[in-house]
């Protein structure tokens, strides 16, 4: 937090280091613009996703992957039930995240991991339909999909276990809701799960969760805890060495 920078007000660090640099250089006007942008930009993104998410649930309900009630529209053509669910879920998301930066990390990881299945789909389609005509033809063969899949996984991996455990928990709950919906719905009106074709996603997400847990990224990760204990041990040994070499250092007179 930055305090006493402008009329005694405190600002969050969501504007990034550039606002802090502007404050240190005395460019108060630039810092104010950066902080305003730190509020306007997320609000703009939130407005877009608020309009988009209910329509995603509406489309899922139309194909049978979500409760049929989400297909209801008001007289303006807005899926009100999906909008209400979006509002409730968004309110609950404030509880597990202590700061805006943590929530941004969660949303970023969730967005990137949703892109991870895209390269796999491209590679599979190139194998199954090699002669399929299309408006464009991407170069790279199977190398480009592999690099895209690797990049998506690395971004999630580097985010750290402190954020990733919430992401994987949310995805696990989504699978549970999907399974319950499939178990208690009329299967003649919904598409089959086709688990034989999609089992690899559970293996992929589970493996990524284990790797994130064992990594050094995040204070609660196993590797991060080991590094923290080693760092604390080094500080303790350094302190004992200083006490042995100079036991009365606090009684020295500066004169």
Among 12-16, 61-65, 134-138, 142-146, which range has the highest average pLDDT? Answer: 142-146
Whether the pLDDT of residue 4 is over 50: the answer is no
pLDDT of residue 253: 46
| Average pLDDT for the chain | 76
pLDDT of residue 114: 86
pLDDT tens-digit map of 191-247: 777 778 888 888 999 999 999 999 888 787 787 665 555 555 555 555 555 545 544
pLDDT tens-digit map of 160-176: 898 889 899 989 988 88
pLDDT of residue 151: 92
- Name the residue with higher pLDDT: 138 or 250: 138
pLDDT of residue 6: 36
Q: Among 78-92, 143-157, 239-253, which stretch is predicted with the lowest mean pLDDT?
A: 239-253
The first and second tokens of residue 217, run together, are 């990224």
pLDDT of residue 149: 92
Alpha carbon 87 to its chain's center = 18
Among 87-96, 132-141, 221-230, which range has the highest average pLDDT? Answer: 87-96
pLDDT of residue 12: 44
Whether the pLDDT of residue 154 is over 90: the answer is yes
pLDDT of residue 153: 93
Whether the pLDDT of residue 74 is over 90: the answer is no
* Residue percentage of the chain with pLDDT more than 90: 9
Instruction: Look up the pTM and report it.
Output: 0.62
Alpha-carbon dihedral 236, 237, 238, 243, rounded to 10 degrees: 90
In which element (H, E) is residue 52 found? helix 28-62
Nearest to 110 by CA among 41, 186, 208: 208
pLDDT of residue 209: 92
The residues facing 6 across adjacent strands are 9
Nearest to 21 by CA among 35, 41, 42: 35
**Averaged pLDDT, 121-150:** 83
Nearest to 105 by CA among 152, 151, 155, 149: 155
pLDDT of residue 187: 75
- Name the residue with higher pLDDT: 93 or 200: 200
Cα-based distances in Å from 112 to 115, 134, 149, 157: 5, 26, 10, 11
Whether the pLDDT of residue 100 is over 60: the answer is yes
The first and second tokens of residue 61, run together, are 């309900």
d(CA 73, CA 105): 33
Where does 80-160 have alpha helices with state H? Answer: 80-92, 100-128, 143-159
pLDDT of residue 233: 53
pLDDT of residue 195: 79
The first and second tokens of residue 57, run together, are 């649930």
d(CA 189, CA 20): 57
The first and second tokens of residue 87, run together, are 């509002």
Nearest to 12 by CA among 45, 39, 44, 43: 39
């Amino acid at each position: 937090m930055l305090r006493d920078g402008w009329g005694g007000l405190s600002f969050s660090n969501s504007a990034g280091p550039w606002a802090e640099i502007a404050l240190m250089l005395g460019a108060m006007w630039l810092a104010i613009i950066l902080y305003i942008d730190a509020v306007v930009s997320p609000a703009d993104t939130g407005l877009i996703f608020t309009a988009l998410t209910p329509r995603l649930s509406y489309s899922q309900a139309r194909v049978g992957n979500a409760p049929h009630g989400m297909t209801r529209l008001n007289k303006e053509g807005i899926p009100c039930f999906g909008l209400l669910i979006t509002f409730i879920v968004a309110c609950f998301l404030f509880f597990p995240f202590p700061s805006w930066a943590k929530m941004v990390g969660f949303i970023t990881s969730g967005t990137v991991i949703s892109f991870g299945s895209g390269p796999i789909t491209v590679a599979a389609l190139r194998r199954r339909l090699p002669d399929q005509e299309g408006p464009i033809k991407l170069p790279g063969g199977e190398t480009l999909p592999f690099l895209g899949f690797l990049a998506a996984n690395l971004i999630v991996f580097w985010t750290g276990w402190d954020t990733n455990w919430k992401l994987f928990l949310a995805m696990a709950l989504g699978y549970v809701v999907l399974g319950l919906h499939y178990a208690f719905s009329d299967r003649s009106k919904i598409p089959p799960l086709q688990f034989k074709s999609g089992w690899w996603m559970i293996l992929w997400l589970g493996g990524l969760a284990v790797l994130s847990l064992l990594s050094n990224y995040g204070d609660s990760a196993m590797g991060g805890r080991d590094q923290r204990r080693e760092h604390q041990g080094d500080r303790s040994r350094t302190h004992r060495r200083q006490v042995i070499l100079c036991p009365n250092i606090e009684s020295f007179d500066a004169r």
